[in-house]
């Protein structure tokens, strides 16, 4: 390794993994729960996303934006449609907890989502990684967070 390479490596910040910055555990609903129940959980926990699970297996992620889209088209839809129905209309991107945050950020941009569902090798939901989590990491690289 040259002196320049050693110096750059010494000053480069360590890139954290998704596990280090995600939120968890996942607040979840089942495929049979109504979107109203999903909204109720979001309001009660002040979160913008709920996971959809089947037993222990993660199936997807529903956001408050997804719920707003349903409500805009059909105000009664939140009580009539299930979380499983909403998953059919959204693309959920999963990410492993040991993925670095740069790769996870690239996935967010590629899939045009604001959050990723973090899963283990068995497909069990571990947490949620949001664009806000990644922004916090980015700002932490520039200066200490308050």
Residue 42, number of CB atoms within 10 A of its CB: 19
Closest CA to 78 of 90, 66, 61: 66
Residue 92's pLDDT is what?
73
Phi-psi region of 133 (alpha: psi -120 to 50; beta: other; left: phi over 0): alpha
pLDDT tens across the length of the chain (146 residues): 555 555 555 566 788 999 999 999 999 999 999 999 999 999 999 999 999 999 889 999 999 999 999 999 998 999 999 999 888 777 778 999 999 999 999 999 999 999 999 999 999 999 999 999 999 988 887 765 55
Fold classification of 17-142 (topology level): CBS-domain (3.10.580)
Domain boundaries, the chain: 17-142
pLDDT of amino acid 2: 55
């Amino acid at each position: 390794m040259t002196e320049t390479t050693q110096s750059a490596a010494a000053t480069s910040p360590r890139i954290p993994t998704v596990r280090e910055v995600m939120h968890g555990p996942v607040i979840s609903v089942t495929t049979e729960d109504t979107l109203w129940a999903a909204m109720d959980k979001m309001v009660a926990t002040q979160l913008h996303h709920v996971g959809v699970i089947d037993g222990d297996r993660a199936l997807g992620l529903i956001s408050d934006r997804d719920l707003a889209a349903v409500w805009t088209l059909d105000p009664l839809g939140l009580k009539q449609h299930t979380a499983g129905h909403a998953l059919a209309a959204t693309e959920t991107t999963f990410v492993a907890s040991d993925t670095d945050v740069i790769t996870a950020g690239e996935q967010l941009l590629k899939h045009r989502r604001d959050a990723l569902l973090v899963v283990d090798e068995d497909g069990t939901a571990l947490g949620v990684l949001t664009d806000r989590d990644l922004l916090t990491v980015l700002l932490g690289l520039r200066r200490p967070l308050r």
